[in-house]
Amino acid sequence: MPLYTSISRTRHLVSPFHSSCRSAIRSFSATPLAMTNPPAASSSSSSSSSSRKPVLTRDTINPAVLEVEYAVRGELALKADKYHQLLTSPLAPGQAANDLPFDKVVTANIGNPQQKGLDQVPITFWRQVISLLEYPDLFKNHLDIIRQIYPEDAIERAKEMHEEIGSTGAYTHSKGILGIRKRVAKFIEERDGYPADPESIYLTAGASAGVSSILNIALQKGDGCLIPIPQYPLYTATLAFVSAVPLPYYLQEIEGWSMSHKVLIESIKQAKKAGTPVKALVIINPGNPTGACLSEEAIREVVQLCYDERILLLADEVYQSNIFDHEGKPFISFKKVLRSMPEEVANSVELVSFHSISKGMSGECGRRGGYFECVNISDEVMEQIYKMASVNLCPPVSGQIGVDLLVHPPKPGQPSYPLYEQETSLTLNNLRERSQYMFEKFNSLPGMTCQPADGAMYLFPQIDMPPKAVEAAKKQGKEPDVMYALELLDATGICAVAGSGFGQEDGTYHLRVTALCPGVEDYVSKIEKFHHDFIAKYT
């Protein structure tokens, strides 16, 4: 099994994101609308009425765009959406009821904790502060009334922040509001025990925007970028767009999806042999989709390697608070380990670390908030990063406020603390318990093995695919695990993403399932039943 594969290897990575797509893109006739009774839209396709060739075609647009693979509109997502619509739309007169063998679609494919059907509720303190900031009249002119609803510390916090940032409708500094960046720096300092500089911190529209921005700036066409396999498909998508070369390094499934230093070195060697300069290394810790959390030792080895080989280190640390065993397998930041190393390493290895409000206990994906911290990046490059941030004007203020709430939560003794503690503990306990339950159940199934997750919000069980199933999938022109996921959806309404969406070693097959769904026993028993039937069908 090759440890190193070329760019074509990662082409068919699909995305776990989003479930719906409407394909019909129609043009309309040039007849003005009678406003009282608009005619049905014509379904004639674009430019069919003209012999003129369109300016934009697949052949004329930016060719790098075609290289981007992000198959959100894959068969699975489309089907799940269709089923959901069937189950939730009222029947038209005379329309037959659907004959689906399930009564709801379970979206176990997206790390989107607050979506309908899941049970992670927003943190109350967050929403109280945000609602006050969005409508300051509440505390300016109706204080006595709102005191019946809002706790004192939420009101105080909103007043302070309003004083600092003014209207949530104004552009901020392109790096984000300075006061918030100062509190992010304090958060990092308290987490790691090393100083952080607010001027090296950029607030972003979620971690994805930060990753995309840094990859677009750092990489030239043809530069190599090491990425874990399995990986979160944002990386391959963005690398394709910048025409950089993804250099896969395989995680060691049998050792709990750990990172092998040997494998990493071998990947670098292979890239060099192929003439690809190794410019950057992406690490997702805790892992997505693996849930594996790196040890201090492993992190130290990576940092040293980046020093020795002159590699830019990109640490995707968005799951840093989704940790199940803070004592045994804690989250340790790359920044902390880097700063603890000999001065020559500590002050030279270039690191960008990404964080987000979309994951963790907040799960505020829709708000689009996050930050990245640059460490040891040269001043001349920091200037370029700032310039590019400026072109985008500023990150969404609501996301910036989310970052503030993330790094500056209620403290013990404050009125909002007990509820905050209760809500965040419940979220973490749910994740931990569901993850553990699913891990045990999946391992008890014949033909399925599953590594335990140390954190994040997914499990990534391996399916021992029967040869007949592989054969059948081949005939359908599908990856076997994609066929598995489609049949799972058809039989149970459960939507989970095939491992080929994240990359996996040749000949292995996986499924990524979120640990976000309530009613986990019911949900897992459906997977169990399906799995038995699937194995029986293809044996």
Interface residues for a second copy in 101-160 (CB under 8 A)?
Answer: 110, 112-116, 122, 124, 127-128, 130-132, 134-135, 137-138, 142, 145-146, 148-149
Task: For residue 279, state whether it binds a second copy (rule: CB under 8 A).
Answer: yes
Least CB distance to a second copy at residue 466 (A): 33
Residues 6 or more apart in contact with residue 418 via CB below 8 angstroms: none
Amino acid found at 329: K
DSSP string, 252-313: BGGGTSBPPHHHHHHHHHHHHHTT--EEEEEEESS-TTT-----HHHHHHHHHHHHHHT-EE
Stretch in the footprint of a second copy (CB under 8 A) among 262-270, 365-373, 487-495, 526-534? 365-373
Residue showing tokens 């509190």 = 183
Residue 93 token pair? 């007169």
Q: Which of residues 45-74 bind a second copy (CB under 8 A)?
A: 45-50, 52-58, 60-63, 65-66, 68, 70, 72-73
Least CB distance to a second copy at residue 534 (A): 29
Task: For residue 190, state whether it binds a second copy (rule: CB under 8 A).
Answer: yes
DSSP string, 172-240: --TT--HHHHHHHHHHHHHHHSS---GGGEEEESHHHHHHHHHHHHHPPTT-EEEEEES--THHHHHHH
Please identify, using beta-carbon distances, which residue of 127 and 478 lies nearer to a second copy.
127
Residue 70 token pair? 């992000």
Q: Which of 7, 225, 397, 485 binds a second copy (CB under 8 A)?
A: 397
Stretch in the footprint of a second copy (CB under 8 A) among 314-322, 380-388, 420-428, 514-522? 380-388
Distance CA 253, CA 508 (A): 11
Please identify, using beta-carbon distances, which residue of 147 and 468 lies nearer to a second copy.
147
Distance CA 32, CA 25 (A): 19
Task: For residue 304, state whether it binds a second copy (rule: CB under 8 A).
Answer: no
Q: Which of 75, 156, 197, 490 binds a second copy (CB under 8 A)?
A: 197
Task: For residue 22, state whether it binds a second copy (rule: CB under 8 A).
Answer: yes
Please identify, using beta-carbon distances, which residue of 48 and 95 lies nearer to a second copy.
48
Q: Which of 167, 425, 429, 525 binds a second copy (CB under 8 A)?
A: 167
Task: For residue 36, state whether it binds a second copy (rule: CB under 8 A).
Answer: no
Please identify, using beta-carbon distances, which residue of 18 and 408 lies nearer to a second copy.
18
Amino acid found at 243: S
Residue 440 token pair? 């045990």
Task: For residue 164, state whether it binds a second copy (rule: CB under 8 A).
Answer: no
Task: For residue 41, state whether it binds a second copy (rule: CB under 8 A).
Answer: yes
Distance CA 197, CA 373 (A): 9
Query: At 349, phi and psi to the nearest 5?
Result: -65, 125
Q: Which of 86, 100, 217, 263 binds a second copy (CB under 8 A)?
A: 217
Least CB distance to a second copy at residue 276 (A): 15
Q: Which of residues 79-98 bind a second copy (CB under 8 A)?
A: none
CA distances (Å), 376 to each of 181, 334, 345, 353, in order?
Answer: 18, 13, 10, 12
Q: Which of 501, 504, 264 is nearest to 513 (CA)?
A: 501
Task: For residue 205, state whether it binds a second copy (rule: CB under 8 A).
Answer: yes
For the chain, what is the radius of gyration of the CA atoms? 25
